[in-house]
Structure 1
Amino acid sequence: MLDEIIRNYISAYNERDIDAMLRHVTDDVVFENISNTGHSMRLEGKPMMRQVAEVSGNAFSYRRQRLISLVTGSGKAAAEIEFEGRAAVDLPNGVKAGETVKVRGASFFEFRGALLSRIADYS
């Protein structure tokens, strides 16, 4: 069941369906993005997650996450994920509009019941 929730969340992300993404998270969800380039972000709650999803979605003309591996158990999950996208605008990390970005990273998920309560992406 947990793996299905994560797969549905990633599918909604790939389809840019923010409402569907948010159906899989708690109202007080914690989302973290930690990058080895020194950029990191931490936000709490569905409204903040919606805001960031809208902004980040517009930063790419194309984006896709591919689930490489997934391990679940005891209300937690770890996944290896590959992200590929084409920048629609110049990004703060130096990527220019039109350039393709391909990154492999790990995501960690925590659940409260059948909803994601914490998502931490590392790349």
Structure 2
Amino acid sequence: MSIAFIQKYITAYNRFDIEQIVTLSHPEIVFKNISNGQITAGAIGIAAFQYIVRQAAGMFISRSQTMKSTSQSAELTLVDIHHQAVLAINLANGIKAGEKLSLQGQSEFECKDNKIFRLTDIS
């Protein structure tokens, strides 16, 4: 998967462009979000993924992912990500709406039929 394609996805994510995110995703997409070693969200198929993307968008006033580095194998593209966001809601862990988050993480992208087929976000 090209870095330019991944950047297109990240740009859509940063702009809250759910339609573009869905357009770039395979109909059978498999998504996982892993935080502190625990799966915190997941979806199989485009409808479930679109639902999660919409939910996640509602959690933030603003958000920005920046690619820091990439590496590729035959099947996976790994992207080190810096994520900054301002929350729109209070979180269960005590972080309040309006507070800023700053996280380092990694996203794993796998392509099928020139679309994102597997996406795993790890922080």
What's the TM-score bracket when you normalise by the shorter of the two chains? over 0.9
Identify unmatched segments of 5+ residues in structure 2: none
Q: Is the contact made by 2:81 and 2:107 (CA closer than 8 Å) also made in structure 1?
A: yes
Does the 8 Å contact 2:32/2:39 carry over to 1? no
SS for the counterpart of 1:69 is strand
Measured on the aligned residues, the alpha-carbon RMSD in Å equals 1.5
Q: Which residue of 2 aligns with 1:94?
A: 94
Q: Confirm whether residue 119 of structure 1 aligns to residue 119 of structure 2.
A: yes
Aligned to 2:108: 108
**Partner of 2:53 in structure 1?**
53
Unaligned runs of 5+ in 1: none
Residue 12 of structure 1 aligns to which amino acid in structure 2? A
Query: Structure 1: how far apart are the matches of 2:72 and 2:8?
Result: 15
How many residue pairs match? The answer is 123
**1:56 offset after TM fit, Å?**
1.1
String of CA shifts for 1:5-54, please: whole Å, max 9, x gaps: 11100000011111111111110100100001745222111111111111
- Greater than 6 Å deviation, 4+ residue runs: none
When residues 114 and 37 of structure 1 are mapped into structure 2, their CA distance, relative to the original with a 3 A threshold, is closer
Deviation at 1:75, TM superposition (A): 3.2
Alpha-carbon spacing, 1:52–1:113, altered in 2? closer, same or farther (3 Å): same
3-state secondary structure, aligned to 1:95? coil
TM-score (norm 2): 0.92
C-alpha distance in 2, partners of 1:113/1:78?
19
Worse-superposed segment, 8-17 or 64-73:
64-73
TM score, norm. by length of structure 1:
0.92
